[in-house]
Structure formats: C-alpha cells, structure tokens
Structure 1
C-alpha cells in the first residue's frame, strides 16, 4: 500500500518546485524529503520527479499520482474540520441511559440546559435499569450512563465512575399498618410481611438488608413501576423499600406512609463513562457533576 505521508510529500514538492522548499513548508530536513521520495519511487517502480534547472518537476507518472494526493489531502482536511467541530460540540451525538426515577426527577433540567448550549449535538435517552444501561455503554450503544449501586451491588470496576449523590431507602407501609405511626421502623419488625420489590438491584438490596436484620423477605409482588408498587401497598397487599427519589418522581398516593428504617440504608447514584468518552459525553458529565 502506498504510504500516505510520502504521497503528501510528493504533493508539496510539486507545489513548491523543489525538495528544499517542500522541506521548509513541511518543517522537515531536505534529506528526509529526499529519502521519502526515493522510497515512494521504489514503491512505484518508476521515477516520479525530474530536475529542470533548479526546479523539480513531476514526471507523467508523478502527475497522475498527484491527482490522488490532492484528493487525499482534501479528504484529510475535511476530517480535520470534522474533528474540530466535534471537539467544539458544534456537531455530535449524546446517547444517555439512565434509571427511571433519575429520568423523572433530576435529568430533565440539565439535559435541557445542554440542548440549549449545544444545539448541534443530537441527544438521545434510553430509560433503563442500571445493569442493562452498563451493557449499552460497554457495547457502544450509549455514551453515558447514570446508575445506582449499594453495598450488595457495587459500581462497575471496568468503567470510570463519578458519584452524584445518595438516595435513602424508606419503608413504605399501608396507612393502617400497626407500625405506620412510628418515626423509625426496626427492619426486623417487618420479617413477617409480604414484600413488593422491583428491578434486580432493588431486590438484591432488599434481600441483603433483610438478611442483615435476621430474616429472608417473602417477595410476593415484583414490579419495576414504583407507582404500581405504592398502589399495591395502599390496598394493603404488602410493604416495600422505595427511595426518596422514587417517591418524588410519582404523584402522591393516598393511603401509604414512608418511614426510615433502622439500620438506615441508601443507594449511591453514579455516572459512568467509557475511557475514550466522546466530547459531548464529557461535557454533559461535567454539567451534571457541577450542577447537582
């Protein structure tokens, strides 16, 4: 395959009329330019330049090759301009994957601010739970992930992450429950309850928190819809652990109460990027970190 750098050196020799002038334009030494021309001629198998007095001209073969050199140079210049536009966020794309309650409460405002600041960047959002979101990031289908972790399900070790804050879990009970009036509920007192739980990380967290309190929870209902979970609780069908963010993301549901547990428990919200994150993802990550 023809060396592109040598082809572009041939182009500069043609433009400037000598190896010395081409060397100055390229900020190379004249022997380096001569070396690359000889190597290109060996690859071509025929002379590409000839001397006419003090001027170096191209042979017919060199002239034919020059047309390709001009096309390559133009393409490289277009690529350079494209890189600058992406780096300056004049164009690009930002594909975000984030969990439901974050999408409903925190994400809209910074996302709108980013869209106003960088109107040329195409924005996409996929609402999904943390583990599927991380797979989207690893496969290149997402540029940035907002997920959550806790002691039972730690953040990914193979991706750079940045903490965005903590979200407290609360026990959600029917209003008529005997423990509903307490300021704090001992987790162990809920051992005989039917439980309502959600995504895999939420269920893992519930099981771990319950086991630390000395029991295995009876998970009778599984739903990732936290509004549905609250309505089931309001009908007296069970209890749940939900976070403050999930409660803030839903309309007020009559007939339920939210009470802290002892021991208290939290999930940690994090932002994850690939190691070679695109400029748009880096810019939005910075906006999230400084804005929260």
Structure 2
C-alpha cells in the first residue's frame, strides 16, 4: 500500500536531486528519507532510483511513479485545503427547508446574518409544510428542516432525527376591523361559535377543529387555503374569520384586519430538525445556531 507521506518525500527527492537535499528541505534526517524511500520501493515492488556517481537517476518505474505521485499528492493537498475551508466555515453548502411563514420571517434574517459572518457559505432554501419538510430531511434532500406542531399532536420525529426548540408561536383570531369583538384584547373561542371560518393547511385546520371542540362547538369552515395573504384578504372582506399564528402577522398586516389574542394562549411550537449524525457538520451547526438566535429575538407586528 502506498503511503501519502512516502509519495511526498519521493517527489521532494526528485525535485531536490538527492536524499540529503530533500532531508534539509523537509526538516528530516537523511536516514529518515532513506528509510522512507526503501519502504516505498518495497511497496511498489521494484527499484525507483539507480545510483549514478554521487547522484541518481530514475528507473522506468520511478519515472512512471512521478506522474502518478504528482496527481495523488496534488489531489490530497486540494482535499486538505477544501476540508480546512469547510471546517473553518470559509466555504460550504447547507440546505434549509422551511414552511412559508418561517421563510418570510425567521429565515431571511438568519441567512443574512450567516452570509455576513461567513460569505463563503451558501444557503440553499426550500419551502414545504410539515410533515413534507421532515420527509425531505430523512430522504437527504435538505440538511435542516423547520416545522411546527400543535398541542396534542403525536411526536413525529424518529430516533435518528434531533428536534431543537426555536420559538412558541401564539395563535391569534383574525377579525374584520369592524367586528364587535375587535374591541377586546383577548377573545374566547366560545364567543365565536356561529361565525364562518377560513382554515389553513391540514394540520392548522386539525388544530382549529380540536380547539373549537374543546369549547363545545364545530366551526363552520367555508374556505380553506394555506395562502396567508389570501386568508387576511378574505377576513377583511367579511367572508369569514381565521385562527392565525402570530408569526404570520409579523409580515402580513392587512389594514382592514384586526388580530386578537385567544384566551388560554394556544400556540404552535416551532422546531428545527436535523439528522443526529449531521449535528457535527460545521455548516449545519452554524445554521441551527443562527436560527435559534433569530427566533429568540423575533417580535410580531
């Protein structure tokens, strides 16, 4: 088996023209260089040098090995440079998949801060609602997934996936500005029995049904969409009311819509998910740290 250190020494011997000159250049003793060249010749199974006076010339095998050693040593040095750059966060790619409201709030500041501190690191963004984002993580299509869960939902991450808490996202009721309950700071869901409702994504709709059931009624869902701007426009025109996470209101605030906190402060939990064996990858670790920092500092509208 050829050893890279022997190949490096071999190339220096060829360049320097003698064992002693190579030893001085490399900071070795001459016997150490001699032993390495003997080990290399044993590994290839044939002499590499022929003594000529005080110098040497390469055998045919030695000449052939020079060409291959230059490629091998060059590739190893390039690999070392690239790996050092990755370890020092001077370069690299990290893929993030997040749900729409996170991509509009937490993600932009996270990416901006990461790029400012580490301009050589590239972040590739994807968008998907949970659980699709978690499926992509397990399929290897992204490195970090942002997803949310509601109270009462069964844990959905397997043992090989690590979940990191980012923030609690309180739910608010969206009402037309002229709605009688818009005068109150807090609204009881039970007081909204009989209203028409606009539901969001499947898990948001399931949470709405659960919360209303706990208050003793079934909401009259007249429209469903996961388009947050459409939800606010529908509320503004009186089509219905909606239960919306506060994270959404931090970037979409329709002038004809009023958001009011819900009594009991129901919320969804926002998490970052990574594969357990990927936590030590520098770019993944960096992205998760930035996500936690930005999420902790987040404020609504």
| Same fold per superposition (TM over 0.5) | yes
Post-superposition Cα deviations, 1:209-263, rounded to whole Å, max 9, x if no partner, equal: 2233334433321111222112212222222110111112113331x33233333
Secondary structure at the residue paired with 1:206?
helix
Counterpart pick for 2:165 among 153, 163, 166: 163
C-alpha distance in 1, partners of 2:114/2:185? 41
Secondary structure at the residue paired with 1:130?
coil
Give ranges in structure 2 of 5+ residues lacking alignment.
14-18, 297-301
Corresponding position: 1:260 with 2:281: no
Q: Deviation of residue 169 (structure 1)?
A: 0.5
Q: Deviation of residue 76 (structure 1)?
A: 0.8
TM-score (normalised: structure 1):
0.77
Aligned CA distance change for structure 1 residues 86 and 11 (closer, same or farther; 3 Å): closer
C-alpha distance in 1, partners of 2:10/2:233? 78
Corresponding position: 1:121 with 2:118: no
For residues 173-212 of structure 1, the aligned pairs below 5 Å read: 173-177=175-179, 179-212=181-214
Determine the structure 2 residue equivalent to 1:44.
none
C-alpha distance in 2, partners of 1:243/1:78? 48
Count residues in correspondence.
278
Q: Deviation of residue 199 (structure 1)?
A: 1.5
Q: CA RMSD in A?
A: 3.5
Secondary structure at the residue paired with 2:80?
helix
Determine the structure 2 residue equivalent to 1:271.
272
Secondary structure at the residue paired with 2:89?
coil
For residues 34-49 of structure 1, the aligned pairs below 5 Å read: 38=42, 40-41=44-45, 47-48=46-47
For residues 1-292 of structure 1, the aligned pairs below 5 Å read: 3-5=1-3, 9=6, 12=9, 15=12, 17=19, 38=42, 40-41=44-45, 47-48=46-47, 59-151=59-151, 152=153, 154=155, 156-157=157-158, 158-177=160-179, 179-254=181-256, 256-274=257-275, 275-276=277-278, 278-291=281-294, 292=296
Give ranges in structure 1 of 5+ residues lacking alignment.
42-46
Q: Deviation of residue 182 (structure 1)?
A: 4.1
> Are the equivalent residues in 2 in contact too, given 1:153–1:201 (CA < 8 A)?
no
C-alpha distance in 2, partners of 1:36/1:170? 73
Post-superposition Cα deviations, 1:184-212, rounded to whole Å, max 9, x if no partner, equal: 33333434333211122212222222233
Determine the structure 1 residue equivalent to 2:299.
none
TM-score (normalised: structure 2):
0.75
C-alpha distance in 1, partners of 2:42/2:210? 71
Secondary structure at the residue paired with 2:111?
helix
> Are the equivalent residues in 2 in contact too, given 1:153–1:204 (CA < 8 A)?
no
> Are the equivalent residues in 1 in contact too, given 2:106–2:291 (CA < 8 A)?
no
Q: Deviation of residue 153 (structure 1)?
A: 5.7
Secondary structure at the residue paired with 2:211?
helix
Secondary structure at the residue paired with 2:278?
coil
C-alpha distance in 2, partners of 1:64/1:192? 86
